Amino acid sequence: MIDPTKHRQLEELDTVNLCTQIFTNARNELYLNMHYLDLALSSFGFEADPALSSVATDGFVIYYRPEWVFAMYKRGRVHINRAFLHMVFHCLFCHLDTRGKRAKDYWNLACDIAMESVIDGLYKKCVHVPPSPYRRELYLRLGKQMPVLTAEGIYDALQNMNLNERQYERMAEEFLVDDHELWYEDQTRSQAIPRQGRWKDNREKMQTEMEARSTETSQNEEDSGLLEQVQVENRERYDYKAFLRKFAVMKEEMQVDPDSFDYIYYTYGMNHYGNMPLIEPLESREVYRIEDFVIAIDTSMSCSGELVRRFLEETYQVLSESESYFKKVRIHIIQCDDQIRSDAKITDQGEMKEYMEHFTIQGMGGTDFRPVFEYVNGLRNQGEFAKLRGLLYFSDGKGIYPVKMPPYDVAFVFIKDQYQDESVPDWAMKLILDKEDVTDHEH
């Protein structure tokens, strides 16, 4: 007679082996149709978890409820394939680690909508299920608000929809695929850095292979939506505070330099020779200070006045820090659409604060970047700047750029999902900020 415990263990082992085989077959089928996903598809282990209601991932392992796997498999292999690919995309697009201060339920929903929209746009037999009219209508609605349906952009759109409870539940039910709770557990949060590095590497290699294959017309058309998502995610982003330091200059200031001061010698001298320290602190030190630069604001109708204000407030906060300011500065804040609308000269923190308190957008016409550069070049020729370090241009990128490179650094500052950068000259830097970088108090 077979031991009941042993019999149960054998049954559980058979169940695990069968589920692993189902996922392995799904991985192989996805690979045959999308070779560029090779590394991403091979990045997971599989582990049964009866406590789950469906499937979930922490970026390293796919956890599953066996009953759910069997139920989906009976409906058709395509549903297992889609769930696998859905979780791969969550990892590729950093959804596990980029929620920030966003509302958890709406972030989860936005991530699911973004990934389902990509899968629905692939038109590959291994994952294709005709999208419902509800989905098609939502994709069309969101597509009118953003060029690429990213989770961040969809989240903002959902917030503006003011969904009631019934509407939210209907939408969540339509797009629910996997459980996201593992994203927020302490153990998985501690794995964030190695996980991000792993999937960043996967994503960059995926983009390289997709672009190499894009010469094949059929593949380029089928996968263009996914490639756009990958390109958007792979664009380098910067910490704004660190970026502003690019416009700093080294200068010696008259102040005590505590870093060059040794208290041991000072104390020894005071104790043994009365009021005679053996070493005095240096009365000057070299520090980085922002001295001369220009902030240009695109005030065309395509730029949000609220985002412009937030950008200036964030800039003001950075400039207000003790290590960022000389006692006197020369900062010109220029508003321009297709012509110069205003130029405010800021020479100290008090003037910056007053400017922010009375800030108003001026312009709202078309966009032409050239007048700002012509105007700034005129100021330089007049001797307005001691040493102009650079120009920051806050814009959505939709305008006419100058052809000639100016004799100072230039950076165009864009908000993610709300810009076009195809025409930005090679000599200009591009700074891409998440909307939350300038509006994080809202989430």
Is 443 a residue whose pLDDT tops 60?
Answer: no
Q: Confidence band (pLDDT; 50, 70, 90) for 100?
A: confident
Point out the least confidently predicted range of 15-19, 222-226, 346-350: 222-226
**Residues in CB range of 218: below 8 A, 6 or more apart:** none
Structure-derived torsion over alpha carbons of residues 272, 273, 278, 281, reported in degrees to the nearest 10: 100
Question: Which of the given ranges, 323-332, 334-343, 423-432, has the highest pLDDT on average?
Answer: 334-343
Cα separation, 113 vs 172, in Å, equals 9
Cα separation, 155 vs 95, in Å, equals 12
- Name the percent of the chain lying above pLDDT 70: 74
Is 28 a residue whose pLDDT tops 80?
Answer: yes
Cα separation, 12 vs 19, in Å, equals 11
Is 442 a residue whose pLDDT tops 50?
Answer: no
Q: Locate tokens 């390293």: which residue? A: 60
- Name the percent of the chain lying above pLDDT 90: 39
Cross-strand partners of 412: 393, 430
Question: Which of the given ranges, 92-101, 172-181, 197-206, 357-366, has the highest pLDDT on average?
Answer: 172-181
Give the pLDDT of residue 424.
87
Please indicate whether residue 416 or residue 174 has the higher confidence score (pLDDT).
174
- Does the pTM of the predicted model rise above 0.85? no
Q: Confidence band (pLDDT; 50, 70, 90) for 250?
A: very low
Cα separation, 219 vs 226, in Å, equals 11
Give the pLDDT of residue 140.
95
Question: Which of the given ranges, 100-109, 256-265, 341-350, has the highest pLDDT on average?
Answer: 100-109
Please indicate whether residue 253 or residue 116 has the higher confidence score (pLDDT).
116
Q: What angle do CA 304, 307, 308 make, to 5 degrees?
A: 85
Contact in structure between 63 and 57 (CB atoms under 8 Å):
yes
Give the pLDDT of residue 225.
75
Give the pLDDT of residue 158.
95
Among 81, 96, 91, which residue's Cα sits nearest to residue 206?
91
Q: What is the mean pLDDT of residues 273-280?
A: 55
Cα separation, 289 vs 286, in Å, equals 9
Give the pLDDT of residue 97.
87
Q: Confidence band (pLDDT; 50, 70, 90) for 76?
A: very high
Among 383, 411, 379, 376, which residue's Cα sits nearest to residue 397?
411
350-362 as b/e: b if 16+ CB within 10 A: eebeebeeebebe
Please indicate whether residue 93 or residue 396 has the higher confidence score (pLDDT).
93
Mean pLDDT, all residues of the chain: 81
* CA–CA distances in Å: residue 384 to residues 183, 291, 339, 433: 53, 12, 20, 30
Is 268 a residue whose pLDDT tops 60?
Answer: no
Cα separation, 282 vs 58, in Å, equals 53
Please indicate whether residue 357 or residue 102 has the higher confidence score (pLDDT).
102
pLDDT per position as a tens digit, 175-185 = 999 999 999 88
Contact in structure between 392 and 318 (CB atoms under 8 Å):
no
Give the pLDDT of residue 256.
46
Give the pLDDT of residue 324.
53
pLDDT per position as a tens digit, 379-417 = 999 998 888 878 989 888 888 899 899 998 888 888 776
Point out the least confidently predicted range of 240-244, 311-315, 437-441: 437-441
Q: What are phi and psi of 29, to 5 degrees?
A: -65, -40
Among 247, 306, 256, which residue's Cα sits nearest to residue 284?
256
Contact in structure between 155 and 416 (CB atoms under 8 Å):
no
